Amino acid sequence: MKSLLSIYDIKDEVTEILDLANEFKHGLIKGKPLDGKSLAMIFQKSSTRTRVSFEVGMYELGGSALFLSENDLQMGRGESISDTARVLSRYVDGIMIRAIEHEDLVEFEKEATVPIISGLSDLEHPCQALADMQTIKEHKGDFSGKFVYVGDGNNVCNSLLLICACLGMDIVAASPKAYQANEKIVKQSKSIAKESGSNVTITDNVEIAVKDADVVYTDVWVSMGNEKQEKERKNALEKYQVNSKLMKLANEDAIFMHCLPAIRGEEVTADVIDGKNSVIVDQAENRLHAQKAVLYHFLK
């Protein structure tokens, strides 16, 4: 049994999964490969894209998905992760979890006897990163360009650092010193990058970072669970807004990316996110194809 809690877990399989995602997108995999299989989906936080793409993905592959909000599970009343994981494993073929704490995902994975797939935690968002790289391949042809992440060094940023390193794409993450990416993930990314021949750079200088970028990516300043730090985060991240002035430093054909949901006027201005170089809806669509690839890879 193998699980997907981090991009690190699939560091040698990223290309294979992206190839599968492309095949699913273009209808090259026929039939119902997950016929009769079930996926439990536990959500401790809100979701639009992750929930719908996993549910539709399972359906299209011939299986079924169960949406389990933590409030409706006995877990919400204090039942242990261990009992929940062991019991659900007897009913279903895989469990997707959107978790508040990454540590809970790790504990769940230890106790479960079926694959666990992260649908986001406070540390990473691996399924998002897969869809993002599928999108870059479609728009740029390959991973030879410069990827620049701007803003909060959060879960999305962490998974992007790892996946760019796996695919040999140079990545620069520009964040204020207090909100830079997770140190352990940066270390892991740098060690993978050494093998793949790419560069992982962390900086607080956003202008230098964005210069000559081929991809500019940002995410919200206040992630789910960070609401109490809203004021200090907005103050610290103000200078990291992706606007047309910043985009001028990037290459002319640079694409703009965002995992969504976005707050126009905060981390990105409306003219950029709704402009001609924005690929946000392609990214969202690719969640479905990448998810099918992940489900096929782990559940078949």
Q: Which of 49, 233, 258, 287 is catalytic?
A: 287
Catalytic annotation on 12?
no
CA distances from 281 to 9, 113, 203, 219, 275 (A): 27, 35, 28, 15, 12
H/E segment holding residue 193: helix 183-196
* Binding map of ligand CP across residues 234-263, x = CB under 6 A, - = no contact: -------------------------xx---
Q: Count CB-CB contacts under 10 A for residue 33.
A: 16
Does the annotation count 26 as an active-site position?
no
Residue with token string 């950029």: 272
From ligand NVA, ligand CP, none, interface partner of 48 (C-beta below 5 to 8 A by class) = ligand CP
How far is it, in rounded angstroms, from Cα 189 to Cα 5? 15
Binding partner of residue 155 among ligand CP, ligand NVA, none, CB under 5 to 8 Å per kind? ligand NVA
Annotation marks residue 297 as catalytic: no
Of residues 118 and 198, the one with the C-beta less far from ligand NVA: 118
Residue 51 is a catalytic residue? no
Cβ proximity to ligand CP, 47 vs 201, nearer residue: 47
Cis peptide bond prior to 176, omega within 30° of 0 = no
Footprint on this chain of ligand NVA (rule: CB under 6 A): 120, 154-156, 219-220, 223-224, 259
22 touching ligand CP, by CB under 6 A: no
Q: Element (H or E) spanning 171, and its range?
A: strand 170-174
Minimum CB distance to ligand CP smaller for 20 or for 96: 96
> Per the residue annotation, which of 127, 157, 164, 259 is the catalytic one?
259
* DSSP designation for 69: E
Handedness of CA 31, 34, 36, 40 (dihedral sign): negative
> What is the spatial distance between Cα 200 and Cα 215, in angstroms, rounded to a whole number?
15
Per the annotation, the verdict on 98 as an active-site residue is yes
Of the residues 219, 233, 241, 291, only one is catalytic, namely 219
48 binds ligand CP (CB under 6 A): yes
Q: Which of 1, 107, 32 is nearest to 296 (CA)?
A: 32
Residue 135 is a binding residue for ligand CP (CB under 6 A): no
Record the tokens describing residue 71, joined without a space: 């409030």
Catalytic residues: 98, 125, 128, 219, 259, 287
Interface contacts to ligand CP, rule CB under 6 A = 47-50, 120, 128, 259-260
